[in-house]
Amino acid sequence: MPHLPNPVDYAVPAFVLLVLAEMIVAWAKDRRRYCPRDTLTSLGLGLGSTVAGLLSGGLVFAMASWVWQYRLFDIGWGWYWFALAFVLDDLAYYVFHRASHRVRWFWASHVIHHSSQHYNLSTALRQTWTGFVSFNFLFRLPLFLIGFPPAMVFFVAGLNLIYQFWIHTEVIGRMPRWFEAVMNTPSHHRVHHATNARYLDRNYAGVFIVWDKLFGTFEPERDDDKPRYGIVKNLGSFNLLWAAFHEWIGIARDVAAAPTWRARLDYMIRPPGWSHDGSRDTSETIKARWQARQQREGAWNKPTSSSSAEDRAGAPSQAA
């Protein structure tokens, strides 16, 4: 099996330079777009994620190679196989990403990426330390079983990650219409990071926004409903350890206090915000109340220049 480099390693210097360039441009328009402590937290979480990946990467590759032994097809190394692997890996990423917002166990790792109240290129570096613990690698196993070599899959996964870096910005408005129709863009991904009721649980795509359009999870960004970022209960701290592990702590507390074994399981596998007594909000309940209010006011498609406290609360699927 050929050895392929990790393309992310070569992209890191460009990431740093682009963050600095965006910081200069953003500060010229609005200094609030970058918070130094928030940026340092994002960089620290990115560094920790890199270390965690190094520690678990060998085991993940070994598991992928073991599954590949039972492959259904022998897939070669032609460029067309790389192209197909890139597309299928992006589909696998969509499934993983959607599950990461709908299953609390997966969300406990993914919430780190949504925990900043700012949206800039440094936010893209705010990555999980616990992806291996939450079994994120499971979503790519079907690719190995089909027959795509592990080295090929991890290579295209690195390209996917590089692509997603540039869409974490407010400096870029909208791309040409043809590009917005097919590809994930800053506009589409701002929707995904937003806590506005309209935008909850939408735009899970990595590279191709067509997955969201195909599976009914697409929502366009609206100029009259500017995205607001963060999580329903913001961290209130720049502590790296709290940012990395707070949702795992929340799960442990809920499981310990749950009245039944079924409730204990549900606190791990049901959507974020679920509670056994219905005392908390999920993204569905928040969105349902917002939709009901819009219908009562006959304002479903009217400008939303002001927002209620309910809208400002954000999404439990982005909850602490």
Q: How confident is the model at residue 308 (pLDDT cuts 50, 70, 90)?
A: very low
In the chain, % of residues over pLDDT 90: 80
Q: Give the tens place of pLDDT for each residue, 154-192.
A: 999 999 999 999 999 999 999 999 999 999 999 999 999
pLDDT at residue 138, rounded to an integer: 94
Q: Give the tens place of pLDDT for each residue, 261-290.
A: 999 999 999 999 999 999 999 999 999 999
- Give the mean pLDDT of 111-136: 94
pLDDT at residue 1, rounded to an integer: 66
**Could you give the number of structural domains in the chain?**
1
Answer for the pair 254, 107: CB distance below 8 angstroms, yes or no. no
Helix ranges, the chain (H): 7-29, 36-68, 79-102, 104-114, 121-124, 141-146, 150-165, 177-182, 186-193, 210-215, 240-257, 261-269, 283-297, 309-313
Answer for the pair 307, 226: CB distance below 8 angstroms, yes or no. no
Answer for the pair 143, 132: CB distance below 8 angstroms, yes or no. no
Q: How confident is the model at residue 304 (pLDDT cuts 50, 70, 90)?
A: low
pLDDT at residue 5, rounded to an integer: 87
- Give the mean pLDDT of 72-101: 97
Task: Specify the DSSP class assigned to residue 271.
Answer: P
Mean pLDDT over each residue of the chain, to the nearest integer: 90
Answer for the pair 115, 272: CB distance below 8 angstroms, yes or no. no
Q: Name 292's bridge partners.
A: none
Least confident of 73-82, 196-205, 264-273, 288-297: 288-297
With both helix axes pointing from N to C terminus, report the angle between 240-257 and 36-68 in degrees, rounded to the nearest 10.
60
Q: Which domain holds residue 112?
A: 1-320
**Statement: residue 315 has pLDDT above 80:** no
pLDDT at residue 259, rounded to an integer: 96
With the C-alpha atoms ordered 230, 232, 234, 235, is the resulting torsion angle positive or negative?
negative
279, amino acid identity: S
Q: Is 211 exposed, middle or buried (0-12, 13-18, 19+ CB in 10 A)?
A: buried
CA torsion 117-317-233-39 (nearest 10°) is -30
- Give the mean pLDDT of 85-110: 97
- Give the mean pLDDT of 106-113: 96
Q: Give the tens place of pLDDT for each residue, 228-250.
A: 998 877 888 899 999 999 999 99
**CA atoms within a 13 Å half-sphere pointing along the CA-CB vector of 70:** 7
